[in-house]
Amino acid sequence: MKQFLSASAMALALLGASAAAQTTAYPEGAELLTQEALREALADKVFSTAPAQGPKWQWQFKNEGRFYLSVGNYSDSGQWSTKESSLCLDSGKNVGCNEMRRKDGVLYLKRNSGEVVSFQLK
């Protein structure tokens, strides 16, 4: 069963507030990934994400399963894993999974608010 993130920066990042200008659909042709393909696409990489509202986020995913998130002046960290085509995060206080898809080498994450954001490789 999917667990959803609660309050804090991870919630801000993944849940977020709805925005009028947000994209709520994956790009046409965006495909689900296998658990292994998603892990490979994230491991040992740094990404920037820009939601419709608020500051950009910077994500770092270490191969050993640690993640680091910076949102404005806030930062968080914890464990990350993949389950089917979803990214799962556990910072100790917050646990949740969000579906990701890929098109033309770009990853897209659907937030619980419905907004779809792209992960830009840094």
**In the chain, beta strands by DSSP E:** 31-32, 45-49, 57-61, 66-71, 74-83, 86-90, 95-103, 106-110, 116-121
| Residue 46 located in a structural domain | yes
The CATH number for 33's domain is 2.40.128
Residues sharing a CB contact under 8 Å with residue 13, sequence separation 6 or more, in sequence order = 49, 51, 57, 69, 71, 111
Tens of pLDDT, residue by residue over 68-92, are: 999 999 999 999 999 999 999 999 8
| Residue 44 located in a structural domain | yes
Q: How many domains does the chain have?
A: 1
Is the pLDDT at 16 greater than 80? The verdict is no
Q: Which domain holds residue 21?
A: 9-121
- Round to whole Å and give the CA distance between 45 and 104: 17
| Residue 104 located in a structural domain | yes
State the pLDDT at residue 21: 60
Is the pLDDT at 113 greater than 50? The verdict is yes
Is the pLDDT at 4 greater than 70? The verdict is no
State the pLDDT at residue 3: 39
| Residue 4 located in a structural domain | no
Tens of pLDDT, residue by residue over 17-46, are: 444 467 889 999 999 999 999 999 999 999
- Round to whole Å and give the CA distance between 9 and 11: 5
| Residue 3 located in a structural domain | no
| Residue 87 located in a structural domain | yes
| Residue 1 located in a structural domain | no
- Both tokens of 89, joined, read 């995060």
| Residue 2 located in a structural domain | no
Tens of pLDDT, residue by residue over 87-109, are: 999 998 889 999 999 999 999 99
State the pLDDT at residue 19: 41
